[in-house]
Chain A
Amino acid sequence: MKAGWLKWVHAPVFSKKYRVLNFSIYSFIFLYSFPLFSFERVISLKPNITEVVFALGLGNKLVGVTSYCDIPPEAKKITHVSDYIQPSLEKVIALKPDLILTSQENSSRREIEFLIEKGYRVENSKWDTLDNSLESILNLGLLLGKKEIAEKLTQEIINKLNNIASKNLGVKKKVLFVVGQQPLIVAGSNNIFGDVAHYLGLENVAAQSKLKYPNYSLEMLVKSSPDLIIDLSIGMEGTQKSEKDLLSWWRQYPWVPAVKNDRVYFFHMEELRASPRFPEAVERISRMIR
């Protein structure tokens, strides 16, 4: 356990609440009164955060990652402290981290709150949409003392995406992003797929839904009449279903324009991470559907 005064340094915000990376006055004082302070033992609990930390040139500071952190390849060698959902508290604590990076999306609240309570420095960030991801990259850059690199990184991402968008002007087609086929779960609002659609010049038919991932009935599928379907469930049940199986399921519903005109595309969801590689994934989808 840390000494009391150290708690001040490591947990600048005292609430037991689940915090978002925010620069309160405490953090501000903390960040700028220790210009020489840098984190040496960082744990990342999200694959995209791992990627960003590497992109900021701080991969060597990472002591723990999740079993899903496969990019860049060096990340695979780092100790695994978590699977996709649950970090193992024992492994986390054993590594004596001075900074733990988590994200809002499907993070396990209880473990995170426990770590905050125990005085570890935990920083939560949001990666659900492109805007939030860019902001989180900037915040991480600020936190890790790599402000310039982070700014350059985000600017690059925006430039690449704008470049893609300029090629897709005037497409104006309706798209449906399918996350799971049976049950039919689609991408609604406030998720990264809205951004993908935007840069491809497409309109997401489920964008009006208040839910992030609504469950479509077959009738809704027919009613929304998407011109394209991008089926991301291909990686989800990877061992179970081939592209051919998935396609034959879609073929049952020829009333959907996308199915009728043979415009059902398959894309592995894990390639669409909110990370510096995001523009490349969008570019690949863009080429696929052109």
Chain B
Amino acid sequence: MFQKFKLKISILILFFFFSVFLSLSVGVSQFSFQSFLSASNQEIILQLRLPRILLGALVGIALSVSGAAFQALLRNPLADPFILGVSGGAALGSVLAVGLHLPFIWVSLFAFGAALLSMLLIYSLAQTKGRLNPHTLLLVGVLFNTTTFALILFINALVSMEDLHRIWFLMVGSLEAIEYSRLALVAFLVFLGLGIIFYDASSLNLLTLGEENASLLGVEVERVRTRVFFAASLMVGAIVSVSGLIGFVGLAVPHIVRLWLGADHRLLIPSTAVFGASFLVLSDFIARIAFSGENFQTQLPVGVLTALIGAPLFFYLLRHETRG
């Protein structure tokens, strides 16, 4: 089926393993490959590095696949979880929890709940005469976002300085410090969403031809749309609740993969997942290492790196690749 893409797919998979291996073996403590296997280091690698890498991979999968799904559903290259307001809703939930001084676990629950609630709200607002209009949906999403960020600023004005700091870190995103139990839960939700979207991949292909055509060809348009929509929101809600907001991935990664492998969603969805995961793992690796020397001893927010690496790559491909 995808004979001609064999090489490119292999490269994607190799790139993923390369990113993970690099992030696992090189860190602040500068392990060489020989000491990689010594017992004391292994504990640090397993308890500190590995969860961070796994979370990075999950965040990458969730953001990029939901981006790809939204772009297909709305037939709009600008659609992504940020633009549609899902991320904004999740952020508002977590900021609210911080402002109310709730314990950390509630911050996650609030983010997750708010993501799903926002989705329901946006979804119902964008329904006209029982049908979902993609353009209305995009408009509602953008306006919803503006509203959530206004509300976040409103909460910011009322909380103390210390909370402001925490809120700021939620807004820029971070992959630090997650227990395996919560990681497992997030993984379950992300893969559930991924499974649903992959299951509907061929319907998404037909949907890109337009709704009329898709339903003529036997796609249950409304049902597929609702299903994919909720799968994507589930993924985004799950990851925003643990990592905060990480921008650019949902918009750039699907486009990069599409420029490289073409627009068949049966191939695009899994490839986007693999590339999104590698992309985020690598970005976080650089964010950890770049300023970790004696002179700074600090780490950058991962969202900064995703934009700095993603933007040039995206523009390069846009100039040089023809659609496959």
Give the distance to chain A from B53, nearest Cβ to Cβ, in Å.
12
B166/A182 in contact, CB under 8 A: yes
Task: Name A229-248 residues within 8 Å CB distance of B.
Answer: 236-237, 239-241, 245
The reply to whether A223 and B29 contact each other, CB–CB distance below 8 Å, is yes
- Is A216 among interface residues, defined by CB-CB distance under 8 A? yes
Mask, B100-133, CB within 8 Å of A = 1, is 0111100000000000000000000000000000
A192 to B160, CA, bound (A): 22
* Interface residue from A183, A219, A223 paired with B49 (Cβ < 8 Å): A219
Asked if residues A180 and B162 are in contact (CB atoms below 8 Å), the reply is yes
Report A192-251 residues with CB < 8 Å from chain B CB: 206, 208-211, 214-220, 222-224, 236-237, 239-241, 245
Tell me if A255 counts as interface (CB < 8 A to partner B).
yes
Let me know if A214 and B48 touch, CB within 8 A: no
Are B169 and A216 in contact, with the CB atoms below 8 A? no
Closest to B49 in A: A219
Contact B298 A218 (CB under 8 A): no
The A-contacting residues of B in range 154-187, CB under 8 angstroms, are: 160-163, 165-166, 169, 174, 176-177, 179
Q: How far is the CA of A217 from the CA of B177 in the complex (A)?
A: 9
Residue of B nearest to A218 (CB): B48
Contact B296 A214 (CB under 8 A): yes
Min CB distance A1 to B, Å, is 31
Contacts of B49 in A (CB 8 A): 219
Q: How many residues of B contact A (CB 8 A)?
A: 32
CB-CB < 8 A to A253: which residues of B?
47
Cα separation A211 to B163 with both chains bound (whole Å): 21
Which of B5-13, B62-70, B287-295 has 4 or more CB atoms under 8 Å from chain A? Answer: B287-295
* Chain B stretch 178-234: residues in CB contact (< 8 A) with chain A: 179
Given A237-B101, A237-B162, decide whether A184 and B297 contact each other with a Cβ distance below 8 A.
Answer: no
Asked whether, in the complex, the Cβ of B101 is within 8 Å of the Cβ of A255, the reply is no
Question: B177 and A208: CB pair below 8 A?
Answer: no
Contact B297 A188 (CB under 8 A): yes
Residues of B within 8 A of A210 (CB): 295-296
Find out whether the CB atom of B101 lies under 8 angstroms from the CB atom of A215. Answer: no
Instruction: Please state if A209 and B176 are interface contacts (CB–CB under 8 Å).
Output: no
Q: Which residues of the partner chain A approach B169 to less than 8 Å between Cβ atoms?
A: 183
The answer, among A206, A222, A252, for a CB contact under 8 Å with B44, is A222
Question: Per a CB cutoff under 8 Å, which of A208, A209, A236 touches B162?
Answer: A236
Q: For window 75-100 of chain A, which residues contact chain B by CB distance below 8 Å?
A: 84-85
> B299 near A: Cβ within 8 Å?
yes
> Is there contact, CB below 8 Å, between B162 and A220?
no
| A214 to B163 Cα, complex, angstroms | 18
Closest to B169 in A: A183
Is B28 close to A, CB under 8 A?
yes
Residue of A nearest to B298 (CB): A214
Taking a contact as CB atoms under 8 Å apart, the answer to whether A217 and B103 are in contact is: no
* Cross-chain contact A208 with B27 (CB below 8 angstroms): no
In Å, the complex CA distance between A58 and B193 comes to: 67
Contact A239/B101 with A180-B162, A217-B288, A222-B48 known, Cβ cut-off 8 Å: yes
A217 touching B292, Cβ below 8 Å: yes
Scan B22-46; emit 1 where CB is below 8 A from any A CB, else 0: 0000011100000000001001100
Structural contact, B297 and A214, CB atoms closer than 8 A: yes
Chain B residue nearest in CB terms to A245? B103
Q: Report the bound CA distance from A180 to B162 in whole Å.
A: 8
Assembled-state Cα–Cα distance A241/B101 (Å): 9
Given A85-B161, A182-B104, A240-B101, CB of A216 within 8 Å of CB of B288: no
* Distance in Å: Cβ of B110 to nearest Cβ of chain A: 14
Interfacial chain A residues near B177, Cβ < 8 Å: 182, 184, 218
Report 20 cross-chain contacts, Cβ distance below 8 Å, ordered by A residue.
Answer: A180-B162, A182-B104, A183-B166, A185-B165, A209-B295, A209-B297, A210-B295, A211-B296, A211-B297, A211-B298, A214-B298, A215-B298, A217-B299, A219-B27, A219-B288, A220-B292, A222-B44, A223-B28, A239-B101, A255-B40
> Which residues of B are in contact with A by a Cβ distance under 8 Å?
27-29, 40, 43-44, 47-49, 101-104, 160-163, 165-166, 169, 174, 176-177, 179, 288, 292, 294-299
